[in-house]
Structure 1
Amino acid sequence: MPRKKSNWYPGAEYYVTSTGIRKAPLFYDGEDRHVYLEIIGKARAEHRFDLYAYCLMTNQTHLHIKTHQLDILQIINKIDQRYSLFFNRKYQFMSTVYQSHSEANRVDSSNHQLDVNKYIHLTPCRTDLVGTPKEYQWSSYRSYVAFHKQPNVNPHPILSHFSYPQNINYQKFVEKKPNVSITGKELADVVE
């Protein structure tokens, strides 16, 4: 799913991943994940960006972000730094929390946007944590298919690609053919 890194510009979208050092856990419990989401909320309030999708795995984060006023790397560095401070304080660690700098790969088309979003939401299924993405508590998927409002997530630009009922058609897109990419294909071919 990752694409070639590219220069930032206002309005650019990115697929961002961050991994724990030596693939160690970034999250040990629900509180850790809640704090991470609160940090994203504070960063959004300060730097205005859209979070289209997220998935918080034990040792990795997956984010789909549209920037507005600030370079993606500055946004992610701020989130990672704040979370590192919380994590090291809580667990009394004095080390680097992340493997390396987060990877930010530009999302360069509508089809790529949909593929990234689908990829993020299917991450827990690919790792056999759950049978369907709706079962995984720590992703934005339920805000797409069950209208489970999450204050930091903006599903509307993605859902706007689908005919009504948007949530049902999005769910078909994600779950009906999970291994099919639509890059270069029409969305209607995949949803049918």
Structure 2
Amino acid sequence: MPRSARVKLPNGLYHVMVRSISEIKLFRKDEDKVAYLKILRELQNTFKFKIYSYCLMNTHGHFILDSYGADISKIMHSINSKYARYYNKKYKRHGHLFQDRFKSKLIANDRYILNLSLYIHKNPLDMKKYMHSPEKYRFSSLSVFLGIKNDEFNILDEAYLLSMLTNNLDDAKNRYRRMLFSNNDTLGGIVDLNKDVNLYVSGRNPIVRKYDFSSILNFIESKYKISKKLIIAKFIREYKDFKAILVAMTRCLCNLQINQISKLIGDITDSRTSYLGMLGIELLTNNKVYEGLIEEFIKINEPVIA
């Protein structure tokens, strides 16, 4: 039976759940959860999405993810593919790690997103060690929401949800704590990933992902004083990093598939383009030469409005 098409919007805000296949744990050790969150942060630097709440358990993970104008499928495919490679190499295994596709549902409104965040943060209650203190669980954003510690992995925008409660951040954290530990059933129905909802969430200003490929290529040529012919030339290795940056920025800012990008950069193979994209992400994340490059491009260029 063919699977149904994923419901997506350019400015979608989603409840995302990832789960491993039944016979193995998605995260065998704490260091695996650390690796997943570091990968998420790395991809966040390129795709510019936002995380409003999260919790990683041994077999699955929950996120409130704001695609911020990017394609949710591109985001999650990039994160999960890189983690699967890490996992399979570390544990000397082959084959699928994740259970089918990731699950995602559009979030309906401000009340829905708050209740969903509470649900996600209650996941550690299922573990004996944390049944009375879920805020002590390291791989959840709850401790940040309650003001107990800072965001260890630098991936979270907790202020967006807390500001829905009150404009005073300290008051909002106290109110969130009371909501979390109250006995009121505020969570009914929010975890049904098979039920569609109407989308309205206020106060967001996502990036328009309709930039032209040629404008990105011209930007790189101008900034680094390198001919664009050399950047997209097929067999010149010394310019590989610039081509990788081009692919990563195109993946982030243009509504193009891998095969379309492959044709634009010398008609190379799709697997080579995917490799260059991941290399570009690493360069944008870890090399100070390219720090803030996407933001700089957005400031001086306009998207193509059809």
* TM-score above 0.5: yes
Matches within 5 A, 1:120-159: 120-126=120-126, 128-130=128-130, 131-150=132-151, 151-159=154-162
2:24 alignment partner in structure 1: 24
Give the match's secondary structure for 1:77.
helix
Tell me how far apart the structure 2 counterparts of residues 182 and 156 of structure 1 sit (CA, whole Å). 24
Where does 1:2-17 land on structure 2 (aligned, <5 Å)? 7-17=7-17
Question: Which amino acid in structure 2 is aligned with residue 59 of structure 1?
Answer: T
Match of 2:116 in 1: 116
The 1:99–1:129 alpha-carbon spacing in structure 2 relative to 1, beyond 3 Å, is: farther
Aligned equivalents of 1:93 and 1:178: distance in 2? 45
SS of residue paired to 1:43: helix
Tell me whether 1:65 sits opposite 2:71 in the alignment. Answer: no
Aligned counterpart for 1:173 among listed residues 160, 176, 179: 179
Go from structure 1 to structure 2 and tell me whether the alpha carbon gap of 1:178 and 1:138 turns closer, same or farther (over 3 Å shift): farther
Secondary structure of the 1:124 match is helix
CA shift in 2, pair 1:28/1:182, >3 Å: closer
* TM-score normalised over the length of structure 2: 0.55
CA contact (8 A) 1:122 1:178 kept: no
Q: Which runs of 5+ in 2 are unaligned?
A: 190-306
Taking the aligned partners of 1:129 and 1:106, their CA distance within structure 2 comes to: 32
Cα deviation, residue 70, structure 1: 1.5
Number of residue pairs the alignment of both structures matches:
179
Which one has the largest radius of gyration? Answer: 2
Question: d(CA) in 1 for partners of 2:47 and 2:184?
Answer: 33
Cα gap change, 1:23 to 1:174, in 2 (>3 Å):
farther
Quote the Cα distance in structure 1 between the aligned partners of 2:109 and 2:137. Answer: 27
Shift of 1:87: 0.3
Deviation at 1:74, TM superposition (A): 1.6
Name the SS for the 2:77 alignment partner.
helix
Where 1:82 maps in the other structure, the secondary structure is helix
CA-to-partner distance for each residue in 1:7-55, whole Å, 9 max, x for gaps? 3223311001111111521111121111101011011111011100110
Identity value in percent: 22
